[in-house]
Structure 1
Amino acid sequence: MGKIILIILLTIIATTTAKAIEIDTLWFRIAGAGVQELDFTPDDKYVIAWTNAIEFWEVEKGVKEFSIPIDIKAVGDYNYNEQYLVFAKDSTPRLLDWETKEVIEGFQKEETFIGRIKTAKSKNEFMATKGDYPKVIYFWDINQKQILDSFEITKEFEKDNQKWGRSIHEYDFVGNNDEFFYVRINDNNAKTPGLPPKYEIDNFSYLIYNRETKELVDSLFAFQVSFENYNHVDKMVVMNDRTNLAWNNKGGEITFYNVNSKKIL
């Protein structure tokens, strides 16, 4: 099946003058289940498929030339100068030189698995959570190979005679100099003793914080998911200039937000 997919892809590429971003879109449509993210190498020679491994697929030949296992939830990214891919294996951050395929170690093994890895684009730093229903985001220095600091949310609280749990579901750096980061937080009342499932509520909110001080900078929006009310965000994207965010949460309506002005565009 994999060979058939690659033949289809190569046929499309060979018969069109596709740019890297167009080929990237084709891979997303064709690659199918198991692929969490797709990247190109900086020279556009390989498509990198993030599965339970980092897979290098040679675009012109359509063959997988290299693969290295990763922790399934630790999908990573390039560091700021695109020299390394940052990933995790056995609860330990690692670096992969995408040209030589050399793995750089030296990070400390963590007590549980590492979540989605998001890298800064102006400095050698990345952020990630640990474990299920995380309450803390950790910031690593790639040069020093150690945790610099962290951002922690309230674990539990009571409201309207109900017991609520809080967890982090999404995050990324924003700003020209990565001076901010956004977080999607979920408040869930399932911890309330005796609460019937149909009364369970998830209150999601997107918030922006200052990277250094961890102070709240702005609240983007919130939405609720319940038995009778279902809302969702299809995609939150940090745009290439790093100062604008874009998301879709109203069935096709795309909203743009500028971090510097703190205004909806």
Structure 2
Amino acid sequence: MSLPNPVTFVVGACLRDERERRMMLPEQSAEALGIDVASLLALEEGSDLISPRALGTLAGLYRSNGDALRRLLVEHLGRAGVVRDQEAGHAERFAACTDSSDLIRWQSTVFLPGPLQTLAYALAVGEAPLSRPGAPREATGSVLYLVDERVIQRAAESARLMAEQLDHLLHLEGTGTDIRIVPGTGPVPQPAGHLVELHLPGGPVWARPGPGGVDYCGSTGFANAITASFAATDPASSREALQRAADAHRALAGTPRQARATAEARPCP
């Protein structure tokens, strides 16, 4: 499926996220707009178009600032191509889309995907995790992480930090998180950064989140690239790659300490 413009899906996912974080029922939002529940849910999944006025009504109901979302809707509505969200709060809106997705496939070529990061790693690479207002939402969809092998070979701020991060990944993998390590010479070269396939209620959307904003688009070429990378991996070899990288970083982190210990143990001349 190729979408000319995914902006209605993104706006709908954000509205649903805000309603559920305020712990409000669809009936309450539908009453505020003077529509039935089925119509409200169609707006939230992006299959029906919400007007800027209705969007403002819901933002007031949820006690949120809907200006950025309204501008996103107005600017991109009816235009084909990439939806670029560079306003303040873009990371929170992207998180709302991930929370609303039934299936998420991450492909990362520079840093580890945010959901896999420890706090120390996130701070070291400048991708500190977000805190969002309201009641947290349970993750209900399945998530696949495809990570370029060169990412786990980097030392981030230090070998010790990366060793701790990789131990965290091994723990996640051991408890059921699907992490695949794509060989450094992968089948399809990817642009630097993150590429994320989001299966929202209204349909699939592809996103490229970064520190300066998030780009959304409807190109199926991204999905094909992710599928090709997935085909080049398997759980066993991925776990072995994680273990090798963890052992290597632990060895690097231990070398200076061992050298100091050896020097201190030598008798004075």
Q: What TM-score, normalized to structure 1?
A: 0.25
Structure of higher CA gyration radius: 2
Q: What TM-score, normalized to structure 2?
A: 0.25
